[in-house]
Structure formats: C-alpha cells, structure tokens
Copies of this chain bind each other. A is one copy, B any other.
Amino acid sequence: MAEPKQGLKIAVIGGGSSYTPELVEGFILHYHELPVRELWLVDIEPGLRKLNIVGSLAQRMVEKSGLPIKVYLTTDRRKAIEGADFVSTQIRVGMLDARARDESIPPKYGVIGQETTGPGGMMKALRTIPVLLDICRDIEELAPNAWMLNFTNPAGMVTEAVLKYSKVKSIGLCNAPIGLLKQVSSKYDVAPDRIYAEFVGLNHLHWITRIDVEGEDKLDEMLADTAGYSAKNVPANEWNPEFLRSLHALPSYYLKYYYMTDAMLEEQLGSLKQGKNRAEVVKQVEEELFELYGNPELKEKPKQLEQRGGAYYSEAAVNLMRSLYNGTNDIQTLNVANRGIIDFLPDDASIEVNCVVTKNGPLPLPLTKVPPMAKGLIHAVKTYESLAIDAAVIGDRDLALQAMVHHPLVPSVDVAVRMLDEMLEANKAYLPNFFHKA
C-alpha cells in the first residue's frame, strides 16, 4: 500500500451502531500512527435515526480532539467504499428482532438458542452472508486494495464465506482474544506484549493451550482461576475443575454451550419463561445509550458503553488497522484462512489463530500444542459451518438441512427438519436466496 497523500479513508458499514463512539475514540487516540482523514459512517435507511445520533456524537468527539479528521454520514454505501483504505463491517441483518427469534425458537425444540452458536447462529449466517458478499462486490469494484475488517457475527463463518467467494482482502475479528490478554495482563500486572497466549480453534470455539507471561508458563494457574475469563453475553456457569485440569487447556467461554449444554439450556428456558432474552436486554441497553448519545453536550465515549458486552471490539479494530498500516509485525489473534495450520481442516477454512501482522497482511503462526480432545469438536463445528456457508450462498435448503443435522447441538434429524422449517419461515424476509430465487 503506497503512502496515501491525504491520509486514510475508513468506511464503517453499520456505522450507526452503538459501538461507534469507541471506534472514534480509538482513531483519535492513535491518530499519530493511523492518520485517518476521512471516516465514513454508513447505514441503511431504517438505521438513519441512530446513524444521525451517533454520527453527531462522533463529529463532536473529533471536533473536541482538534484533529483534521472529517466524519461523513451516509446511506450511500458505494460512495463510502470508493477508494477506502479500510472497510469495517458491523451489521445486523434483521436487527434485534431477528436476534430475538434466533434465541427463542431453538429452545422450543430443546436446543440452545444463541446468536452465534447453534441453530441461531446458523440463521444469522444465512441472513448475513449474502449481504456481506454484496458489500464485497462493491469493494472489489471500488476499493480493490482495501482491507476489510469483519466484526459481523458469526465472524468465523462470514470471514470464510468472504475468503471463498470474493477477492476482497478480509480479516475476521473477535473481542474474546483481546479480552483474555487484558485479563492476564491485569492478573499478573504485565504489559499485554509480554504475554504469549496460544489460541487453537475457530471463532467462538477456541481453546487456549499456552499462556506464557514473560516466558513463564502460567496455564495451570489460569486453569485454577477461570473466574475472570468470561463475557457479558455468556452466562457464568463454573467449569468443573477436574475437567479443566485433565483438558490441559482453557476453553473459550462460548464452549460452555457444548460442555455444559444441559445447564445452559435450563438457564435459557428459565429466562424465556420469565419473558427475558438476551436480545431484549440488549435492546434496552441500546435505547439508553442512544439517549445518552443524543445529548449535544456529550463529546466523548460514555462510560456506560462498556457494559454493552462487546468490550474491546474497537480496540481490536484500531490495533489491527494500525499494524497493517505500519507493518509492525506484532502478534494478534485473528480469523484467517487455515492454510495448513490446523492440519485436518481444509486450507480455505477460517480459523482463529495467532498471526504476525505484516504490511501485506496477517501470517498465521503454527500451533505448538493442539489438544487431542478438541479435534473432533473443531471438525464437527467446521463441518456444520462449511455446509451452512454454502447453503447461504446458494440458498439451498438441502445443504441447510445437512448443516443443521450435523451441528453437534442438534439432537436428531427429526428436530432439525422441524426447527429448520420454522426458522426459515420466520426469516423469510431476509432470505431472498431461499425464497425469491431468480
């Protein structure tokens, strides 16, 4: 990438998100290493109100900083993408109502309802992948050298779809790895760059197999004290200590859906009975945030945003853009093409893995330990993911059925058939590939 004369152009697809102030804060803080001149916040028509609210806050934040960054608000995606250096995506096809359905339909069949894991995540993938590929068509045409940073969930599947079905240079990002580093960093009071944590697996399905703090192995200590490694959006059931000790690895908190399926499901059923679900909670938090954002006196990211659940997302994004721009060769945990790193998965499968971020993109680092226990589950979930990706791209019900049947959380063909029918029908408006084929 040649040095841009006029500074960098960034396009944020889904710019009306409540996360945007964090991103803007990052651009301001790291301006000297990442000279952003144009920040384009794009959203769709129905999101215009939020875009205007959060966009105005962004403009006030920039103004206060005194930096020569210009913030543009638009619904014209192509204009935003044209000539961009980085495109980030943080969209939610069908918005929080669709999420509520992803979370509430599966429990009716005795199956985990979650927005990235299980049948809910699959429906989200079916809705989202075609839209992302549509964005990629624009990038291929209007900004072929841009890097696309994908935060859109299910991030691993979306990234794999883009790797397989477009030419866009794309990287998938999650906040879980940076969250772990923060936790270790705070526990041992060391800078994150003195920690080497090795992640093995897929997005929302990783195991951490080594945690070296200044070269010393702290994995066993971390296994004995897992309290802190969690997230707002995953209930905090406790790990069985005997299990963790004999696993010799720290599982992602998303793995609770697989390792504690019964307890997690019970909790979901309890919440649903009380009329609560995670989507509703998030909706309310968002409402409150936008009320805050609308205050013309507010000129910085409000504290309350940190309770939203997606902590560190924007920090991860700014870190990655900065490293790509400067070729810092530092190590970050990213979602990229496998290319032999996990030896039993296809080369073009997306995995979540430590990478050296060079000016020409991330180079994945080989794994020094792979827990034999994890192989089957990784392969089972990747099997489901790859089937679901193809189902999404083609709009193929047969593939969608096979994907759902082979998801490890789905107990039978019979349940899969009935649940798929209901979920497809409920998402009809967002599945043109399935329902309105040319």
Identify the A interface with B (CB < 8 A): 1-2, 193-194, 196, 212, 214-216, 239-240, 242-243, 245-247, 259-263, 327, 329-331, 339-341, 343-345, 356, 358-360, 363-366, 368, 372-373, 375-377, 379-384, 386-387, 398-399, 401-402, 405-406, 408, 411-415, 417
Contacts and interface: CB of A to CB of B under 8 A. Distances in A.
22 contacts: A1-B215, A196-B358, A239-B413, A240-B413, A240-B417, A242-B398, A243-B401, A243-B405, A245-B398, A246-B401, A247-B402, A261-B412, A263-B412, A329-B329, A329-B356, A364-B366, A366-B366, A373-B402, A375-B379, A376-B381, A376-B408, A379-B379
A198 to B, nearest CB: 9
A406 B376 contact: yes
A209 to B, nearest CB: 12
A262 B379 contact: no
A414 B263 contact: yes
Nearest to A416: B243
Nearest to A215: B359
Nearest to A259: B413
Interface centre among A246, A339, A376, A377, by most B CB within 10 Å?
Answer: A376
Given A262-B412, A359-B196, A215 B417 contact: no
A330 B193 CA distance: 12
Contacts of A247: 402
A307 to B, nearest CB: 29
A360 B399 CA distance: 28
B196 A327 contact: yes
Contact of A412 (B260, B364, B375): B260
Contacts of A386: 372
Contact of A340 (B340, B377, B402, B405): B340
A417 B373 contact: no
B368 A363 contact: yes
A215 to B, nearest CB: 4
A328 to B, nearest CB: 9
A259 to B, nearest CB: 5
A243 B410 CA distance: 14
A373 B327 CA distance: 30
A368 to B, nearest CB: 7
A145 to B, nearest CB: 11
Nearest to A345: B344
A344 B383 CA distance: 12
Nearest to A260: B412
Given A360-B196, A366-B363, A401-B246, A260 B413 contact: yes
Nearest to A212: B360
A243 B413 contact: yes
Interface centre among A330, A344, A413, by most B CB within 10 Å?
Answer: A413
B408 A408 contact: yes
A2 B340 contact: no
Contact of A376 (B261, B368, B384): B384
A400 to B, nearest CB: 9
A383 B387 contact: no
A381 B413 CA distance: 18
